Chain A
């Protein structure tokens, strides 16, 4: 399953497209005829990772299904910035009900399509990390357990951003939010809590679980395509940096997502039926500082009263991920140099 990097084509393996690449190696995003599922004029902040991630994923799903997709959306940034009445940015069939019920609504849509015999129309449900790991968690677990024919995509920006950056169960340790102040001996969010939803999803033994970031478009699109080849409950967890909530520069959205992966803090992998099938290895490993320093939500770990001890604990988390998923692969590193 691991993708074979394309060499010799200047930027074939990494850039969005390339005049020298064969049609098969180009991304959906490089095509002028891509759906643009979410249209211009949406009110996401400058440099929004979620707007980008949603277009990447849905355009790929549209392509994979010959444009036969219904999307169900939980409440969250993505819903709020795309549909302030009377405007909508959606260019695909799209449905919003409540914050916590997106998995259940998607189950219902899938059931209705089955009853009507429309087997070619596929259902995608999408939510932010709040709607996934906190508020929609029960419904989502039920959807997994019943193995309903829905691809559920979580756009993880690690907090409740449109309501003013509150902590979610996906907020990482030590990060400052409106509800986890950078004060006291352990500033920011606490260590040892939160939910690792990709692993929880894997524990349901559903057909497909994968993680991705907006920094690797080829990988993300390939995973959506794979998910649409399968039926039953599928889960895709996409890291989408939030310039507002993370305190990053608006032009750093992709760069910071890349560092999350390259530091080992955000493991990128895929699993089928509860078993890990592939990991995206680290290409240019970086210490976690490089990732943290770009974000004001970790500002209290540096500067006048630095907390190297906390940085070391975050580094230990990255090292644990690297060990758990085998993110550093010596053999692929050397093939890239020798190929």
Chain B
């Protein structure tokens, strides 16, 4: 080669110099578990469907959603959204309105007539699902996707369980409920209504079922012994709400007292207001901080003119007069009687003190354990080795519709493993995407969109839905507030900030790749990644 004096090499590109050899740590792309997904009792891939919704791909978003939960329009209304409590955006401004976007997608699906995925190829296995509430319906759906035949039985004359007979229509309009239930039934489900199962073993034998999913719920309102006069009207909240749902509301009078502090108590009080009660008073033995009802429900109830007597118990109910005993919290936070009494005018007393399960159908099921009025289950929701699974309010867990939906899904997969003779597998979970891994500089400030609330005056007298939905514009805005914690959303930061051009952009949907020939391991990409989807690991030497 012809080179100048004292020069032995030809001129070439610096790419001959592999600066990657300087590196002692290397960046690697990771996926972490977003806190919303981690918190979702129904096991939804929330970040996944928000990602599609951000691009306006609503059907794709809905399809990811119903992969786990077939009832998004219902959940978008009744779920107490633990995902939003867990959301990292809380620490920036406010949580992403996940629940509102879910409802938007659910409603849009109903409007557009999107159908659930086709059932799986027939396995020839027959499964009996007892109880058509959220757990039973969810199990039915997932079992159909897995290709099993399902018979769904319920003691009521319509499907829905507590979603129909417990949750008032102003929180969950019946048209929405029916639409989502019908979509599940359309997958080919044998529905048997008005049928009470007395003995699960016998029922199973008679129908020759390979496995059973038990989702009978907790239908019995707890009673306590309160001295009451003959003419005093006392009813439990479950019965009350059930009758209202059946369009056969009991006559409670103008002054209604509800005893209890859970969501059911507030549902009962708000329903009483709508039926014409001028006074709807909740009596609860603890204070507001220790109450079971969700904050939103309390706010809405107070806004509708429901009042609450904190730290009080009902001592007795004479005609038109309830005697309350005042309580105080002891050091451990337990209420203790004070011996002070006060009186309250009342026409009726509604007891909302919790619900019990009726598990008499398990009396002859030998390998099922019932403890404290609930069915003991493994993580696969298996209650008995012979193939009895259970979920929803009948098993020990938080009693919410969303938890029940999660039980249904897990139970269906447990049943699938059981009837197909597979060992149950535990899914590997990613490391949690915590707030400290985010670089929040990159997120524009964008406060949360409020869902319109029906004007208070209107909702005191009718059963119209209280919380409105989001418009498309608002839903898109809300979805785009997602920080995408722990998972790359292709913001190009790593590609842009590398001083050594050592990040290769693979194109839309394909993310990026490191060029370790040239990456010097400076770590800027890790530091400037908004969502914490890159980490440094020591180089093997």
Contact pick for A46, options B15, B483, B521, CB 8 Å: B521
A19 touches B489 (CB 8 A): yes
Per-residue A-contact encoding for B504-541, CB less than 8 Å = 1, 0 else: 01011000000101101111101110100000000000
B491 touches A15 (CB 8 A): yes
Chain B residues with CB under 8 A of A19: 55, 489-490, 508
Per-residue B-contact encoding for A6-48, CB less than 8 Å = 1, 0 else: 1111111111111110000011011010001011111110111
A16 touches B54 (CB 8 A): no
- Minimum C-beta distance from A90 to chain B (A): 9
Complexed CA–CA distance, A18 and B505 (Å):
12
Of B4-12, B35-43, B167-175, the stretch lying at the interface with chain A is B4-12
Per-residue B-contact encoding for A65-97, CB less than 8 Å = 1, 0 else: 000000000000000001001111100000000
Chain A residues with CB under 8 A of B477: 8
Complexed CA–CA distance, A96 and B49 (Å):
53
A40 touches B500 (CB 8 A): yes
Main secondary structure of the interface of B (DSSP, over half): loop
Q: A10-B491, A85-B7 are in contact. Are A40 and B14 (CB under 8 A)?
A: yes
A32 touches B501 (CB 8 A): no
B497 touches A16 (CB 8 A): yes
Instruction: Check A55 for interface membership: any CB of B closer than 8 A.
Output: yes
Q: Give residues 430-444 of B contacting A (CB, 8 Å).
A: 441-444
A253 touches B524 (CB 8 A): yes
Of B17-25, B308-316, B320-328, the stretch lying at the interface with chain A is B17-25
Q: A39-B13, A87-B17, A89-B14 are in contact. Are A6 and B444 (CB under 8 A)?
A: yes
A88 touches B13 (CB 8 A): yes
Complexed CA–CA distance, A47 and B528 (Å):
12
Instruction: Check A179 for interface membership: any CB of B closer than 8 A.
Output: no
Instruction: Check A336 for interface membership: any CB of B closer than 8 A.
Output: yes
Instruction: With CB as the reference atom, state the residue of chain B lying closest to A13.
Output: B444
Chain A residues with CB under 8 A of B524: 47, 250-251, 253-254
Complexed CA–CA distance, A135 and B477 (Å):
52
Q: A41-B13, A87-B13 are in contact. Are A32 and B443 (CB under 8 A)?
A: no
Q: Give residues 455-498 of B contacting A (CB, 8 Å).
A: 476-477, 480-484, 489-493, 495-498
Instruction: Check B446 for interface membership: any CB of A closer than 8 A.
Output: yes
A16 touches B492 (CB 8 A): yes
Instruction: Check A5 for interface membership: any CB of B closer than 8 A.
Output: yes
Instruction: Check B207 for interface membership: any CB of A closer than 8 A.
Output: no
Instruction: Check A311 for interface membership: any CB of B closer than 8 A.
Output: no
- Minimum C-beta distance from A200 to chain B (A): 29
Instruction: Check B303 for interface membership: any CB of A closer than 8 A.
Output: no
B54 touches A20 (CB 8 A): yes
A47 touches B496 (CB 8 A): no
Instruction: Check A255 for interface membership: any CB of B closer than 8 A.
Output: yes
Chain A residues with CB under 8 A of B13: 39, 41, 87-89
Main secondary structure of the interface of A (DSSP, over half): loop
Q: A11-B444, A87-B16 are in contact. Are A250 and B492 (CB under 8 A)?
A: no
Instruction: Check B282 for interface membership: any CB of A closer than 8 A.
Output: no
Chain A CB within 10 A, most for which of B10, B55, B446, B500: B500
Chain A residues with CB under 8 A of B396: none
Q: Interface size (A, Cβ < 8 Å)? A: 56
A17 touches B496 (CB 8 A): yes
Instruction: Check B502 for interface membership: any CB of A closer than 8 A.
Output: yes
Instruction: Check A52 for interface membership: any CB of B closer than 8 A.
Output: yes
A217 touches B11 (CB 8 A): no
Chain A residues with CB under 8 A of B491: 10-11, 15-18
Q: Give residues 282-339 of A contacting B (CB, 8 Å).
A: 284, 336-337, 339
Instruction: Check B424 for interface membership: any CB of A closer than 8 A.
Output: no
Instruction: Check B447 for interface membership: any CB of A closer than 8 A.
Output: yes
Complexed CA–CA distance, A327 and B440 (Å):
21
Instruction: Check A260 for interface membership: any CB of B closer than 8 A.
Output: no
Complexed CA–CA distance, A19 and B57 (Å):
13
Instruction: Check A225 for interface membership: any CB of B closer than 8 A.
Output: no
B14 touches A87 (CB 8 A): yes
Complexed CA–CA distance, A275 and B477 (Å):
39
- Minimum C-beta distance from A62 to chain B (A): 14
Complexed CA–CA distance, A36 and B12 (Å):
16
Interface size range of chain B in the complex: 35 or more
A250 touches B522 (CB 8 A): yes
Complexed CA–CA distance, A217 and B492 (Å):
12
Instruction: Check A197 for interface membership: any CB of B closer than 8 A.
Output: no
Complexed CA–CA distance, A251 and B526 (Å):
8
Complexed CA–CA distance, A251 and B439 (Å):
13
A40 touches B22 (CB 8 A): no
Instruction: Check A209 for interface membership: any CB of B closer than 8 A.
Output: no
Chain A residues with CB under 8 A of B18: 41
Q: A19-B55, A85-B11 are in contact. Are A41 and B523 (CB under 8 A)?
A: no
- Minimum C-beta distance from B285 to chain A (A): 42
B445 touches A337 (CB 8 A): yes
Instruction: Check A252 for interface membership: any CB of B closer than 8 A.
Output: yes
Chain A residues with CB under 8 A of B227: none
Instruction: Check A51 for interface membership: any CB of B closer than 8 A.
Output: yes
Q: A19-B489, A40-B501, A47-B523 are in contact. Are A14 and B14 (CB under 8 A)?
A: no
Complexed CA–CA distance, A251 and B445 (Å):
25
Chain B residues with CB under 8 A of A32: 505, 507
Instruction: Check A167 for interface membership: any CB of B closer than 8 A.
Output: no
- Minimum C-beta distance from A261 to chain B (A): 12
Chain B residues with CB under 8 A of A217: 496
Contact pick for B492, options A6, A18, A39, A89, CB 8 Å: A18
Q: A8-B446, A250-B524 are in contact. Are A47 and B501 (CB under 8 A)?
A: no
Chain A residues with CB under 8 A of B489: 10, 19
B441 touches A10 (CB 8 A): no
Contact pick for B482, options A10, A15, A47, CB 8 Å: A10
A82 touches B496 (CB 8 A): no
Instruction: Check A223 for interface membership: any CB of B closer than 8 A.
Output: no
Instruction: Check B373 for interface membership: any CB of A closer than 8 A.
Output: no
Chain B CB within 10 A, most for which of A15, A26, A89: A15
Q: A42-B14, A250-B524 are in contact. Are A47 and B499 (CB under 8 A)?
A: yes
Instruction: Check A258 for interface membership: any CB of B closer than 8 A.
Output: yes
Chain A residues with CB under 8 A of B484: 10
A14 touches B444 (CB 8 A): yes
A7 touches B444 (CB 8 A): yes
B15 touches A40 (CB 8 A): yes
B446 touches A55 (CB 8 A): no
B495 touches A16 (CB 8 A): yes
B527 touches A88 (CB 8 A): no
Contact pick for A40, options B12, B497, B515, B523, CB 8 Å: B515
Chain A residues with CB under 8 A of B16: 41, 87
A41 touches B9 (CB 8 A): no
A336 touches B527 (CB 8 A): no
B518 touches A40 (CB 8 A): yes
Complexed CA–CA distance, A217 and B498 (Å):
12
B11 touches A88 (CB 8 A): yes
Q: Besides A11-B444, A339-B446, 5 other CB < 8 A contacts? A: A11-B443, A19-B490, A40-B14, A42-B17, A87-B14
Can you report 26 residue pairs joining A to B where beta carbons are below 8 Å apart?
Answer: A9-B444, A10-B444, A10-B484, A11-B442, A13-B444, A18-B492, A19-B55, A27-B492, A30-B496, A38-B501, A40-B14, A40-B500, A40-B515, A41-B14, A44-B499, A46-B520, A49-B499, A51-B500, A55-B501, A86-B7, A87-B14, A89-B13, A89-B14, A250-B523, A251-B523, A251-B526
A interface residues, Cβ below 8 angstroms from B: 5-20, 26-27, 29-30, 32, 36, 38-44, 46-49, 51-52, 55, 82, 85-89, 217, 243, 249-255, 258, 284, 336-337, 339
B interface residues, Cβ below 8 angstroms from A: 7, 9-19, 22, 54-55, 441-447, 476-477, 480-484, 489-493, 495-502, 505, 507-508, 515, 517-518, 520-524, 526-528, 530
- The 8 A-B pairs of least Cβ separation, nearest first, read A16-B496, A17-B492, A251-B523, A41-B14, A47-B522, A40-B518, A46-B522, A29-B496
